[in-house]
Chains A and B, each alone.
Chain A
Amino acid sequence: MSNVKNLRTFPGNRLVWHAVIVGIVWLLLLLLNNNIDPLYSSYLALIAMYATAMFGMTILVGLSGQVSLGNGALMAVGGYVFALTSMNWQTVPVFGWQWNAVWSMVFAGLGGILIGGVVGGLAARLKGPYLAGLTLGLAVGVPAIANRFPELLGGENGLMLTVPYPNGGYAAAAVVSPDPAGDLATGAATDPGLDPNAVAGDDQYAELDLSGFDQGDGAGTEIAPGDLISEGDLLTQDDLLTEEDLLGAGDLGTDGADPGVDVGTDLGTDLGADPTTGVDSGLIDGFDSGFIIERWQASMAIAVACLVAFAALNLIRGRQGRVWKAVRDDPIAAAVVGISPSGSKVSAFVISSLFAALAGAVFAQILSFIGPGAFGLGLSLSLLVGIVLGGRASLLGAILGALIIVWLPELVNGLSGGRGWPDQITNNAPNLLYGLLVVAVVLAAPGGITGTIRSWIDKARGKTRSPLS
């Protein structure tokens, strides 16, 4: 019945309203991005990336009621498609447009739709636990595929991206100097995480070790024409973000596999008219007008997240959202009124797969790297944890979930910092918290944060409805 009210409160063109809402949020986020320390911009980028993937989870798990652990694997699909297209077709103009990030993103999205259609077709035949098990197999199996094709997909070491930047500029792959003795190695030793690649169920499943890619300075990069900054300017950005800062941000226990985001690699770009975000560096006054990679990554991630949010908002609040809920709540009754339950399930899967693939493409750009370790079961589980804690059936819940996933490990590190707690305690504390919180939320507040707050508001107004509606 609440839907009827929704229609009334949003008279006329709902699309316009949603565009206005998303546009305002987008603008605010860009302002935020341009006025915070670049370190926080990199967190912002991660949050936006997780939110993008979690919007898909909101639709799939929250609205359509299908528990999927495969969205991390679907992100891997998007990431690899992005990596391969951007690396191999750098100079191919398509419809007069250079083969740039936008085109690679389009292809990543198409890849997501394709795979989502296949998996969704299978999934529509399956009920709850079967689906969860099948997608669990997907989460474990898909990253393993990368190991099967080391020439094409880079095997366990993954691929270093040559990230295409705006205005047709490309940052060529920096000289990679593996740094096994670096801080990453110690992180891997203490954190069991949830990385399925670190499985020792058979001696063949050797622990994954990405041996900490560290590109150090930006040597070997190209400077795009029209670049305003000298290398010297950019190298100072190195101090702003250490690898440790990004390690453990988000993703349940990827320490063993975190490729270690490094700022220094990415030179030679121009913030000039950014086709992805429309940000004009000339407008950002009072701030270093130089190109700051974290800012660019964050604005790109925010752009994708906002576009996806706009699409999701329209789907959820429109007819399709009601169709998904109807099938989730009672498939047979839905079929009686002319809705195809399997069609609805497949469409939810395809949409969430599209979002996941786009998020994966963003993730690949943030990391400047792609490898099976970054897309393991831990990533899929963190997506699930995020939306359950934030609120299973609301987009706001997905955003809160993304915040929790990125900030909680930092919070725990902050709390435990300098108290001399052993690493194995502090490294596992976030995951223990996630696990316990998930159980507690499922038992006590199935609606998550947003669902619970809304039920309080409803209570105050004297209304009742399901926390998952």
Chain B
Amino acid sequence: MTNFLDYLLGGFSNGAVIALMALALVLVWRSTRMINFAQVGQAMFTTYIALTVQQSTGNWLLALVVAMGAGLILGTIVFFLVIRPVKNSDTTGAIIATFGVLIALQAAAGMIWGGDPEGFIPPVSNAGLEFAGRVWPISLYDILVWTVTAALVVGLTLLFTKTSLGLSMRASAFNPEVARLSGVRVNRMLITGWALAGATGAIGGVLIAPVASISPNSFDILLVFAFTAAVIGGLDSLIGAVTFGIGTGLVISLVSGYTDASNAPVVALVLLTVNLLLKPDGVFGHHGARSV
């Protein structure tokens, strides 16, 4: 029982980061109806930038803010250079293009920062807290990760539900034609979606970096987990991405704890398969109409 509790608590931080990456995927999906397979590549790149900032200034908060800014810019650049020019009809091409971006970003990061995994010093202690006579698998850093994630989720929810920008974004995601006719600058909303996704992913990258380490392809596995979470959540739903992001983190933590960590990718694959078979539109998603 103690083990179970430990594994469960230990999974929350990873789950929070998976949730952020899944959120980024969902934001992109909502704006352009596609999966950005380069999302974790972008996050990796901005995390390297954050690492550089932190190494030169020693300021974690500044590094986080710089990473967010870089994520916004990178998301916008990818949208303008790659996504917008891809013809709408060529969905296969669009998927392949995002993989091209991923490959290029990983190679570029390897060129600039080298391939060796680098550590990222956490701003607060990453050691388990002692409480009620035992050491818990929770550190101050974990609490920081939860706080940042929660703040971001609340912020995004408020943005989408309470502001006119959020309303416009939802409108252009729901029906671009009608939104355009109603005076929404749909194109701007798409850019906003990609930029927001870039920033969200960047935060996730900076948060996970101290727990793991960072190398050009260290986030690949995160892409699989985030995709799993986003798809199970319904791809359209912010709350779904967060719920199942954390859920995926917990399941992986339990499986890794009770069996072996090398099972984690297989577990993600099984989760994804079962979900796609039973409920292809996700738990929080709604069925789309089929068009001819």
Interface residues, chain A, with chain B CB atoms under 8 Å away: 61, 65, 67, 69, 122, 125-126, 128-130, 132-134, 136-138, 140-141, 144-145, 147-148, 189-196, 198-205, 207, 252, 332-333, 377, 381, 384-385, 388, 392, 424-425, 427-432, 434-439, 442-443, 446
Contact = CB atoms under 8 A, between A and B. Distances in A.
B95 A128 contact: yes
B217 A198 contact: yes
B35 A432 contact: no
A184 B114 CA distance: 17
A439 B220 contact: no
Given A189-B116, A199-B218, A204 B99 contact: no
Given A125-B276, A435-B104, 5 more contacts: A122-B277, A148-B263, A148-B266, A385-B100, A443-B82
Interface string B204-219: 0000100111111111
Give the secondary structure class of A's interface: helix
A69 B211 CA distance: 28
B106 A147 contact: no
B85 interface: yes
Contacts of A192: 106-107, 109-110, 114-115, 215-217
Given A192-B115, A429-B107, A129 B221 contact: no
Contact of B92 (A65, A125, A428): A65
Contact of A67 (B14, B92, B115, B256): B92
B150 interface: no
Contacts, number: 218
A321 to B, nearest CB: 17
Interface in B207-241: 208, 211-225, 227-228, 231
5 closest Cβ pairs, A-B complex: A435-B104, A204-B261, A438-B100, A192-B115, A192-B216
B197 to A, nearest CB: 15
Interface string B114-149: 111100000000000000000000000000000000
Of A122, A126, A130, A199, most B-chain CB atoms within 10 Å: A199
20 contacts: A122-B276, A128-B92, A129-B95, A132-B95, A133-B231, A137-B224, A140-B224, A141-B268, A199-B220, A202-B14, A202-B221, A204-B262, A205-B221, A381-B103, A388-B100, A392-B92, A424-B114, A431-B106, A432-B108, A434-B100
A194 B96 contact: no
B106 A377 contact: no
Given A201-B222, A432-B107, A130 B280 contact: yes
A147 B97 contact: no
A129 B110 contact: no
B155 interface: no
Interface string B14-43: 100000000000000000001101000000
B227 A133 contact: yes
Contact of B96 (A198, A377, A384, A428): A384
**Which of A125, A147, A194, A428 has the most CB atoms of chain B within a 10 A radius of its CB?**
A428
Given A122-B277, A126-B280, A443-B97, A144 B265 contact: yes
A129 B35 contact: yes
B92 A200 contact: no
Contacts of A144: 262-266
A198 B217 CA distance: 7
Interface in B273-290: 273, 276-277, 280, 290
